[in-house]
């Protein structure tokens, strides 16, 4: 085992203390998203990449498998059957987070029913800050307004919102820009 000089030892302690302080100062952020085709996941991850002053955790709700399996699962969710992901949903806990970012695709001008289920599971979110975003191919309709209203009804203060609408290829440029905007907020 190599012996550390006193200076090296002090350096290590200082770095450790800085890391602890940094973690305490970082905003604790939870990104909850739903995705079937990967566009909302891509957007959520791009936003997260710009949150350099946040300690980010994810709660992803991903439909996996072949297209037909995804559609079947979506159908179950739209019929309020969440039994397949019950154990994941039970781990959903907003305690300890300052900011919760909700990201949803648009299905028939509204978010998937999974959004309402997630919110119901989270219970009272008073005192939390929230950001809502959605992805869409056409208009997205009033889906984002719906998300904002529901999240506010759960007790949060919505500090930002954004619709990412692209008919074909959804890039990450606008999502990173949006993430930077959230990151630079002082309050």
Q: Which residues bind ligand FMN (CB under 6 A)?
A: 35-41, 105-109, 135-141
Residues facing residue 102 across a β-bridge = 32, 132
Q: How far is the CB of 20 from ligand FMN (least distance, A)?
A: 36
Q: How far is the CB of 171 from ligand FMN (least distance, A)?
A: 12
Closer to ligand FMN by Cβ: residue 113 or 125:
113
CA nearest to 31, candidates 59, 63, 61? 59
Q: How far is the CB of 106 from ligand FMN (least distance, A)?
A: 4
CA nearest to 143, candidates 158, 121, 165? 165
Q: How far is the CB of 148 from ligand FMN (least distance, A)?
A: 17
Instruction: Spell out the residues 6+ positions from residue 73 whose beta carbon is closer than 8 angstroms to its own.
Output: 63, 65, 84
Closer to ligand FMN by Cβ: residue 70 or 121:
70
Look at the block and give the residue holding tokens 């930002």.
Answer: 160
Q: Which residue is nearest to ligand FMN, using beta carbons?
A: 37
DSSP element (H, E) containing 31: strand 27-35
Per-residue tokens: 153: 């009804």
Closer to ligand FMN by Cβ: residue 96 or 108:
108
Closer to ligand FMN by Cβ: residue 35 or 156:
35
Compute how many other C-beta atoms are within 10 angstroms of the C-beta atom of residue 143.
24
Q: How far is the CB of 109 from ligand FMN (least distance, A)?
A: 5
For the chain, state the CA radius of gyration: 19
Closer to ligand FMN by Cβ: residue 20 or 80:
80
With beta carbons less than 8 A apart as the criterion, state whether 113 and 146 touch.
no
């Amino acid at each position: 085992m190599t012996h550390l000089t006193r200076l090296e030892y002090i350096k290590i302690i200082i770095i450790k203390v800085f890391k602890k302080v940094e973690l305490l100062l970082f905003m604790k952020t939870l990104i909850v998203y739903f995705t079937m085709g990967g566009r909302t996941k891509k957007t959520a991850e791009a936003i997260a990449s710009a949150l350099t002053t946040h300690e980010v955790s994810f709660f992803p709700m991903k439909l996996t498998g072949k297209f037909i399996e995804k559609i079947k699962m979506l159908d179950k969710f739209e019929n309020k059957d969440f039994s397949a992901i019950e154990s994941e949903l039970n781990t959903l806990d907003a305690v300890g987070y300052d900011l919760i970012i909700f990201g949803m695709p648009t299905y028939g001008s509204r978010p998937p029913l999974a959004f309402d289920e997630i919110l119901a599971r989270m219970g009272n979110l008073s005192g939390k800050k929230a950001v809502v975003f959605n992805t869409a191919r056409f208009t997205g309709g009033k889906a984002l307004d719906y998300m904002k209203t529901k999240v506010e009804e759960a007790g949060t203060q919505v500090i930002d919102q954004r619709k990412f609408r692209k008919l074909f290829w959804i890039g990450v440029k606008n999502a990173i820009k949006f993430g930077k905007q959230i990151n630079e907020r002082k309050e």
